[in-house]
């Protein structure tokens, strides 16, 4: 698997400009969110599990490596089918979280179940990503954690082979992953868990629904009938076969290409009943001028070549903000996006980064505390900095469809969730595989 923490040399890349409408049928890698959750649930199950068509990328390889470091058997040698055999979790162990929010948040509750100390650290920027509410919640549930840095990481979880569990109050307004992290490990806690969120609304609600859905599929008893309260009963998790859906967030730049160029893009292998926010995406793309259909061929988006601006609360689908921002730059009317203040704590401060980089290309964009206001005007080429953030790279690629000469300073950051992105994107735009 190699050294996942090694420094990558930047890979400059000029985003290809489309001379014709794109016409592509793609099979994209699996959902990062589903792959991460399936790995955790499988490592905590009573028997073996398989993941069909998982995402192989830096984030998910780090998740597999972290679980393996604590004793789980995780085989990812077959790209199409990963195998997880649970074993007693033990320390000492070290977990490299890279820049992955899923690893830095989902694995510490698991480490509480290990017998022995487990240390966590990652890339320099990850030390600024929010983790405090989760650390406080785990401590209140009986887990000993020492934070040795000035920020959220590095830290050490001193596992004792079990977690008492019980009721906990948490402010998860910064990240729904705080709640998901507690819920995923909770069936193995002695008393399960009751998580009560107190504070502003929890963002990315579809990700929480995915967590609950996957827990139930693994045999857990979960009650989410009361708003902002989640109850998970203690009990065994069942090993099973997981069918990983294509990654919707990763597909959005490709769908955006259909709108920008007046083309058509089909994502193959899309299920009719999805754990991801397909309806929210359908509504947003339709408002921006696209036509979205689901058939036996897959999920298809068609464009007219004219993009419309829109006003939208993106709090449930905040991962889509960078690509939608790029679309809005090319629209025929202004756009206002709100509800995404929490993405300042993602791989980078995405609101500031998007404002800075698009302004440098001539855009008229205003940064608000929880969103962006965009007034379209002609853009020019230039260097677009990605800040090691895969979604920033996606935004630049979308803009580059209509604006010649946009050069990404580091397209290699897309390996976080889709190592194939540069090749897939170039093939779609040029029509050459």
- Residue 416 assigned as binding residue: yes
The C-alpha angle 325, 292, 413, rounded to 5 degrees, equals 40
Q: What is the radius of gyration, based on Cα positions, of the chain?
A: 21
- Residue 42 assigned as binding residue: no
Q: Is the dihedral of CA 426, 427, 428, 432 positive or negative?
A: positive
- Residue 432 assigned as binding residue: no
Phi, psi for residue 76 in degrees, rounded to 5: -120, 25
- C-alpha 327/C-alpha 87 separation (Å) is 47
Encoded tokens for 318: 């905040």
- C-alpha 243/C-alpha 175 separation (Å) is 26
CB count in 10 Å sphere of residue 301: 25
- Residue 176 assigned as binding residue: yes
CA distances from 359 to 352, 364, 409 (A): 10, 6, 16
Q: Are 172 and 202 spatial neighbours (Cβ–Cβ below 8 Å)?
A: yes
Closest by CA to 213, choosing from 80, 33, 396, 407, is 33
Tell me the three state secondary structure of residue 160: strand
CA distances from 87 to 42, 43, 74, 84, 115 (A): 10, 8, 10, 9, 12
- C-alpha 240/C-alpha 218 separation (Å) is 7
Q: Which of 264, 319, 347, 357 is catalytic?
A: 319
- Residue 37 assigned as binding residue: yes
- Residue 177 assigned as binding residue: yes
Q: How many whole angstroms from its chain centre is CA 317?
A: 10
* DSSP secondary structure letters along 187-234: GGSTT-EEEEE-SSPPS-HHHHHHHHHHHHHTT--EE--STTEEEE--
- Residue 27 assigned as binding residue: no
Q: Respond yes or no: is residue 319 known to be catalytic.
A: yes
* Residue 92, preceding peptide bond in cis (omega within 30° of 0): yes
Q: Are 290 and 264 spatial neighbours (Cβ–Cβ below 8 Å)?
A: no
Closest by CA to 126, choosing from 147, 96, 106, is 96
- Residue 433 assigned as binding residue: no
- Residue 204 assigned as binding residue: yes
| Crossing angle between the packed helical segments 390-400 and 350-360, to the nearest 10 degrees | 30
User: Which sequence positions are flagged as catalytic?
Assistant: 319
Q: Which residues are annotated as a binding site for 3-phosphoshikimate?
A: 32-33, 37, 175-177, 204, 319, 346
Q: Which residues are annotated as a binding site?
A: 32-33, 37, 101, 129, 175-177, 204, 319, 346, 350, 391, 416
Q: Which residues are annotated as a binding site for phosphoenolpyruvate?
A: 32, 101, 129, 177, 350, 391, 416
């Amino acid at each position: 698997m190699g050294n996942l923490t090694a420094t990558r040399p930047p890979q400059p890349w000029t985003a290809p400009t489309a001379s014709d409408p794109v016409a592509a049928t793609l099979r994209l890698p699996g959902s990062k969110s589903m792959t991460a959750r399936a790995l955790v649930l499988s490592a905590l199950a009573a028997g073996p599990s398989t993941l069909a068509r998982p995402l192989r990328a830096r984030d998910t390889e780090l998740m597999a490596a972290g679980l393996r470091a604590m004793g789980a058997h995780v085989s990812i040698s077959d790209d199409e089918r990963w195998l997880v055999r649970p074993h007693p979790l033990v320390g000492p162990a070290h977990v490299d979280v890279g820049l992955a929010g899923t690893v830095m948040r989902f694995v510490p509750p698991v480490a509480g179940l290990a017998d022995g100390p487990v240390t966590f650290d990652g890339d320099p920027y990850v030390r600024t990503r929010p983790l405090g509410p989760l650390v406080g919640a785990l401590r209140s549930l009986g887990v000993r954690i020492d934070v040795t840095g000035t920020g959220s990481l590095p830290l050490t979880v001193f596992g004792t082979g079990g977690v008492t569990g019980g009721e906990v109050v948490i402010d998860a307004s910064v990240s729904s992953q705080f709640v998901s992290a507690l819920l995923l490990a909770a069936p193995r806690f002695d008393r399960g868990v009751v998580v009560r969120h107190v504070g502003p609304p929890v963002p990315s609600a579809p990700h929480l629904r995915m967590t609950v859905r996957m827990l139930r599929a693994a045999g857990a008893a979960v009650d989410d009938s009361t708003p902002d309260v989640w109850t998970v009963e203690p009990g065994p998790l069942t090993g099973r076969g997981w069918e990983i859906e294509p990654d919707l967030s990763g597909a959005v730049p490709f769908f955006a290409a259909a709108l920008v160029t007046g083309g058509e893009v089909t994502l193959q292998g899309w299920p009719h009943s999805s754990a991801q926010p397909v309806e929210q995406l359908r509504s947003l793309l339709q408002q921006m001028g696209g036509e979205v259909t689901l058939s036996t061929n897959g999920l298809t988006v068609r464009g007219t070549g004219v993009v419309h601006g829109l006003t939208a609360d993106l709090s449930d689908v905040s991962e889509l903000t960078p690509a939608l921002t790029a679309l809005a730059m090319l629209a025929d009317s202004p756009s206002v996006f709100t509800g995404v203040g929490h993405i300042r704590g993602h791989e980078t401060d995405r609101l500031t980064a998007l404002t800075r980089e698009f302004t440098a290309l001539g855009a008229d964009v205003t940064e608000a505390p929880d969103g962006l206001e965009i007034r379209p005007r002609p853009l020019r080429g230039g260097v677009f900095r990605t800040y090691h953030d895969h979604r920033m790279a996606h935004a630049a690629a979308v803009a580059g469809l209509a604006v010649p000469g946009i050069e990404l300073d580091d397209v290699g950051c897309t390996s976080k969730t889709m190592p194939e992105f540069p090749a897939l994107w170039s093939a779609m735009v040029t029509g050459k595989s």
